[in-house]
Structure 1
Amino acid sequence: MKKIIPLLLIALLFLSCSDNGFNNKNPYIPNYTFSVTFDLNFPAYSNLKFVSNAIYYAGPEVGPRGIYVFNTGSGYNAFDAACPNQSLSSCSTLVLDGINVICPCDDEEYSLFTGQGKLQYPLKQYRVEVNGNILRVYN
Structure 2
Amino acid sequence: MKKIWLLIVLVCALSACSDNERSNKNPYIPNYSVNLSVDMNLPAYSNLKFPSNGVIVPNYGAKGIIVFNTGSGYNAFDAACPNQEINSCIAMTIDGINAVCSCDKIQYSLFTGLGSKQYPLKQYRVEVSGTVIHVYN
- Per the alignment, residue 63 of structure 2 pairs with 65
Offset of 1:92 from its aligned partner? 4.0
Aligned length: 128
Quote the offset at 1:95 in angstroms: 1.3
Please, which of 60, 73, 76 is the counterpart of residue 74 of structure 2?
76
Unaligned runs of 5+ in 1: none
The Cα of 1:22 is off from its aligned counterpart by 4.8
Q: How far did residue 107 of structure 1 move?
A: 1.2
2:100 aligns to what?
A: 102
TM-score by length of 1: 0.83
Find the aligned partners of 2:42 and 2:115 in 1 and give their Cα distance.
32
Greater Cα radius of gyration, structure 1 or 2: 1
User: Percent sequence identity over matched residues?
Assistant: 62
In the superposition, the TM-score normalised over structure 2's length comes to 0.84
Task: Report the CA distance shift for 1:116/1:67 in structure 2 as closer, same or farther (over 3 A).
Answer: same
For structure 2, the residue ranges without an aligned partner over 5 or more in a row are none
Runs of 4+ with deviation above 6 angstroms: none
- In structure 1, the residue matched to 2:26 is 26
> What is the CA RMSD across the aligned residues, in angstroms?
2.0
Per-residue displacement from partner, 1:67-112 (whole Å, max 9, x unpaired)?
A: 1000000000000000000001252421111111111211111110
- 1:85 aligned partner, one-letter code: N
Q: Is the 8 A contact 2:74 2:126 kept in 1?
A: yes
Q: Distance in 2 between matches of 1:76 and 1:29?
A: 21
Per the alignment, residue 51 of structure 1 pairs with 51
In structure 1, C-alpha distance between the alignment counterparts of 2:110 and 2:66, rounded to whole Å:
8
SS of equivalent residue, structure 2 residue 75: strand
